[in-house]
Structure 1
Amino acid sequence: MEPIRVLHVLSALAKNGAESRIMDIYRNINREKIQFDFAVHTTKQCDFDNEVKSMGARIYSFPKFKIFNYLQYYKEWEQFFKEHTEIQIIHIHVTNLAAVILNAAQKSSVPVRITHSRNSNQSGFVQKVFLALTRNIIFRKSTQMLAVSKEAGEYVFGKKAMEAGIVRILRNAIDARKYTFNAELRKKIRAELEVKDNLVVGHIGRFVEQKNHKFVLDIFKKLQKIKPHAVLILVGIGEKQPQMREYAEDIGVGKSVIFMGSRNDVPMLLQAFDVLLFPSLFEGLPGVVLEAQAAGLPCVISDTITKEVAITDLVKYMSLSEAPKIWAVAVVKQATIPRINTIKNFVECGFNIHAIANEYVKMYMKYIVSN
């Protein structure tokens, strides 16, 4: 029996939050029953392209949606569905595109149409307006609505939909065993980074407005008044990276900030950190905070982030209205918490990757049977 093929719609197969979490599922799902394909909005080679192809996935490239090219974009999808009648399930993770794709999918009689909310807000004004205008279409033409958290569900589908129970919360999950704290490994990685015994503050995320890197640097400047030899490690790439490099130099912390770019060894880097600093403007259910907790790493994060992500006592929430100096004091204090093994927490709280991967299989199989 051929596996059921599920088409996941993403911006790109890059090492971003949503994409990384989908890859975690793909690596652990039963591919004899369920096979993933990917629709992306780039023609560039991306981080996960070769890996997904080696696992049997097909990648389809679409033009970027700019609102003014609505008709062209819609026709691309309409033509795609005509050529790919084997598509039975489409799983959309980019909610700004959902209404257009859902219209084409419904017209082409794609039986299972899933819209998955992965964030609790957006940065762009135009994107916010477009989502508001198309929310009713998403609501009517999705056969299933999913969200990674209550806040993410409310943002896209509305509070009434969440209260009515018609949106299913399907949490992000990670393979926590990959991140388990190892004291010897920590020594090795810190030696390679040449950070000695200094306080190491880490942040992992794309250089975009949402991740609030300017505030990260402002906090670190104040933190260096308490810990003059502290080091800040920033992992990730993005449009604001050059601007943040310049800002770090302007405020006098450039020599203490390590811009590491895109990395394949995040589990290793988390071993070397003393604390994760994560003051995002908004998030859905940030995987990096789960990864940090899996590594037994203390975290200081913004209170705009869902409380659902705090599955251990390692997470401290702070208001973005607090001054950088107050954040700096909290970061230094949080970094003194001893590292612990948190595997039990992940199993008990349902964030185990194997359990969630099985939930995906059951969900897709159920949708096919019911449709």
Structure 2
Amino acid sequence: MENNIQKIKIAEFISRLEFGGAESMLLNYTTHFKNPNQFDFHIITQDINDINCIRQFEDAGYTVHIVTHKRKSIAKNVCEIYKILKKEKFDIVHSHMTLTNFYVLFLAKLLGVSVRISHGHSALREEGVKEKIAYPVLKFLNRIVSNIWIACGENAGVFLYGKKAVDHHKVYMMKNAIDLKRFQRNEVIRHNIRTQYGIGEEICIGHVGRFCTPKNHMFVLDIFRAIKDLQPDAKFLLVGDGELHDSIHDKVKKLKLEESVIFTGNIKNTNEIYQAIDVFILPSLYEGLPVVSIEAQAAEISCLISENVDHRCAITENVHFLSIEKSAEIWAKEILDYSRQPIKTSVFDEMTKAGYNIEVEACKLEELYKRKVYQLKQGD
């Protein structure tokens, strides 16, 4: 097969390039391919990116294409994407935009791209009238223009492709695998990071995620305030950035947490940041199977996660779930309780067996790309 497939040209579509989420997962996978020289990777993204993240992809060998955001002009967005696809003549188009995968895959189909991958990274809520009308249509369009279906977890797969498709194994589960060795517990790194951010022996609660509505940062800050009332010397690490930057900073001031909340911004050494954290929290409004939940477990820290997150993220005994309908005060008490309990260590083998070791899982995606290009070009 390898003799028939030389440079496989792949377009990866991501809504934005920041540090985390789908872009982090993609970089993890493709930088661990055994034969990266057999691939020509391009990434196509909208014009709302972190320049440092763009550089990170370029350093990894990607060609980065930036197009007009849909919110600015749908016509320009579609036209620019069409021109890129027509010029580059990709073998594979792999879209990571969940519900909006359909339109780039439709353009790819028009231009004769043989492998069109729809990838679901989250399970969204269908609460409003608009969502209940629009989501089923978008899901249907995704299914008919793609010929490979991928999801990060079962909830995300059921949301985008339906339970029947998941149950009949028509959806390839591409877990949010990571480089487990980089996250293993390290007391030297813990000391260095805590010193860097001015954290002594006091408890440190952490959250990692883009500053956006689904991550529920306002509730995160309410929890921080409740913890502070119970344990005045507590510190809080907020890792990430995003569109809610200003409102989150404003709330920190309103709650008088300026001296306790540490903003790291978007950083590359997230694996080291986990070492400084005693309890990781993720009170999200909704999630598929978040990478950060896997990273936190690999770092061997206690995790308190929203009931709305796919429970399959609990690979180890260090994960606990709690409803976001519960008050911030209840969350605070649970967090402090877990901070005092022993944690399970030596989780490497357990997480590898569960499919979260990138050195093992990246090979599967690499082979999928090769196999599908070969099969579909042969008319299989």
Fold shared per TM-score above 0.5? yes
Quote the Cα distance in structure 2 between the aligned partners of 1:124 and 1:79. 36
1:177–1:128 Cα change, 3 Å? farther
Per-residue deviation at 1:69? 4.4
- Give the aligned partner of residue 119 of structure 1: 122
Per-residue deviation at 1:161? 2.3
Deviations along 1:215-263, one digit per CA (max 9) or x if unpaired, are: 1111111112221111111111112122112112212323211122111
Per-residue deviation at 1:140? 1.0
Give RMSD over aligned pairs.
2.1
Per-residue deviation at 1:123? 9.4
Q: 2:77 aligns with which of 66, 73, 89?
A: 73
Quote the Cα distance in structure 1 between the aligned partners of 2:73 and 2:126. 21
Instruction: Determine if the alignment matches structure 1 residue 344 to structure 2 residue 363.
Output: no
Instruction: Determine if the alignment matches structure 1 residue 292 to structure 2 residue 307.
Output: no
Describe the SS at the equivalent of 1:254.
coil
Any conservation in 2 of the 1:14–1:48 contact (CA below 8 Å)? yes
Per-residue deviation at 1:34? 3.0
- Give the aligned partner of residue 216 of structure 1: 220
TM-score (norm 1): 0.93
Letter matched to residue 3 of structure 1: K
Any conservation in 1 of the 2:18–2:50 contact (CA below 8 Å)? no
Any conservation in 2 of the 1:148–1:172 contact (CA below 8 Å)? yes
Count of residues paired in the alignment: 369
Deviations along 1:76-125, one digit per CA (max 9) or x if unpaired, are: 3333332222x010000012332211221111111000000000116996
Describe the SS at the equivalent of 1:282.
coil
Quote the Cα distance in structure 1 between the aligned partners of 2:219 and 2:168. 38
- Give the aligned partner of residue 357 of structure 1: 362
Deviations along 1:49-85, one digit per CA (max 9) or x if unpaired, are: 223323332112222123x944443333333332222
- Give the aligned partner of residue 31 of structure 1: 36
Deviates most, 175-184 or 331-340: 331-340
- Give the aligned partner of residue 20 of structure 1: 24
**Identity over aligned residues, as a percent?**
27
Instruction: Determine if the alignment matches structure 1 residue 97 to structure 2 residue 100.
Output: yes
Describe the SS at the equivalent of 2:263.
strand
Correspondences of 1:180-259 after superposition (within 5 Å) = 180-259=184-263
Gaps of 5+ in 2: none
- Give the aligned partner of residue 144 of structure 1: 148
Per-residue deviation at 1:43? 7.0
Describe the SS at the equivalent of 2:123.
coil
Per-residue deviation at 1:337? 3.2
Per-residue deviation at 1:11? 1.6
1:193–1:105 Cα change, 3 Å? same
- Give the aligned partner of residue 58 of structure 1: 63
Quote the Cα distance in structure 1 between the aligned partners of 2:322 and 2:347. 22
Any conservation in 1 of the 2:99–2:142 contact (CA below 8 Å)? no
Describe the SS at the equivalent of 1:253.
coil
Any conservation in 1 of the 2:18–2:266 contact (CA below 8 Å)? no
Quote the Cα distance in structure 2 between the aligned partners of 1:129 and 1:119. 19
